[in-house]
Amino acid sequence: MTNPPEEPPWYERETPADVLRRIKRIAIAAYVAFAGFALIFGTFRDFLGLTCSAAVTMISFLWLEEIVEVVLLQPVPHQHARKLMVRTLARFALLGVSLTVTIIIARFNASSVLPGFSIIVVGIIGEALYSLYREVARR
C-alpha cells in the first residue's frame, strides 16, 4: 500500500492575493485602533490628521499594487511608457497635495500624522507575526 502524497506546507498553498488581503485587513484594524486612541486621548484635529495620512498611505499602497500588477505581472508585448509615466506622476502629485493638506490641517502634529503613515507598516509586521505564529504552531 502506498502512502498518500504529503500535503505541501501552508506557505506554499497561499497565494500573494491572500497575503495582500491580510495586510490590508491588519492595516485597517491598525487605523481603527489608532483612530480610537486619537478620539479618546486627542482632539478632532488629531483624528483628522490621522485619517488624512492613513488615507494617503492606503491609496498609495493600493495604487502601487495596481502599478506592479500591470507592469510586472501581465505579459504585455509593448508597454505604453507615456501612460505609465502619467499614472506614476499623478500618484506623486496626489501624495504631494495630500501631504500638504495633512500638514496644514494637522499643523504637523506628529502624534496624529505619523501613526497614519505607518498603518501599512503595521499591516506588514502583523503579517510577519501571523506567519511566524503559524509556523511555530505547526511544529
Closest-CA residue to 50 (of 3, 124, 119, 1): 119
Tell me the pLDDT band of 77, cut-offs 50, 70 and 90. low
DSSP state of 114: H
Q: What is the pLDDT of residues 14-59, one digit of tens each?
A: 887 888 899 999 999 999 999 999 899 988 888 888 888 888 888 8
Q: Judge whether 4 lies within some domain.
A: no
Burial grade of 115 (CB within 10 A; 0-12, 13-18, 19 or more): buried
Domain span holding position 100: 16-138
- 54 or 4, higher pLDDT: 54
Q: Judge whether 7 lies within some domain.
A: no
* Number of structural domains found in the chain: 1
Measure the CA–CA gap between 11 and 6, rounded to whole angstroms.
14
Q: What is the pLDDT of residues 92-127, one digit of tens each?
A: 887 787 777 767 765 667 777 888 889 999 999 999
